[in-house]
Structure 1
């Protein structure tokens, strides 16, 4: 190897991160009183229970839609702008549907928080 000294190359963001020091310590969660702890546990249980239908709908969407499209081969023959309709359905349907499912679940969880 040559006798030249190696130069460390890094972005300004890396320099800034190194200047700040090591990783930040996570904040400690405050200790809850017994009544608050029970309320939090009950709320979590209720939210998880309310989330099961959303999880089922997501499962049906992700696994059921390709199965349904495989049972409808006529959608492969229909073309929109030269692309089979089944492909368009696979591309355009899941993400808006998942967004709506997430929004619905968020609203349901917030409703539970407000009611308790």
Structure 2
């Protein structure tokens, strides 16, 4: 009878240990499920953020392409304006030479006319 009581006590201790281990395992599983759920939520949030960033990147790339095209057009216009400025400057220099020559001729003509009149 004593042996049976000892055996029952030992079995009860084993059952208690098994129950404790089962409770610990349940807690670990619960924590693992919570961790997996949180990790899944974090992953989804990161994926959504990544998607938003990619869309923003595409939009910014389009804006950059438009800005680069505008800059190229502006540079082309500036080059054309530079050429027009050089041509206008050359025309102005030529006009000034012509005016100087005409002035000298006019002065010479006036001197000759004045000499003829006297």
Normalised-by-shorter TM-score class = 0.3 to 0.5
Name the structure, 1 or 2, with higher relative contact order (CA <8 Å, separation 6+).
Answer: 1
The structure with the largest helix share of the pair is 2
TM (norm. structure 2) is: 0.32
Larger gyration radius, structure 1 or structure 2: 2
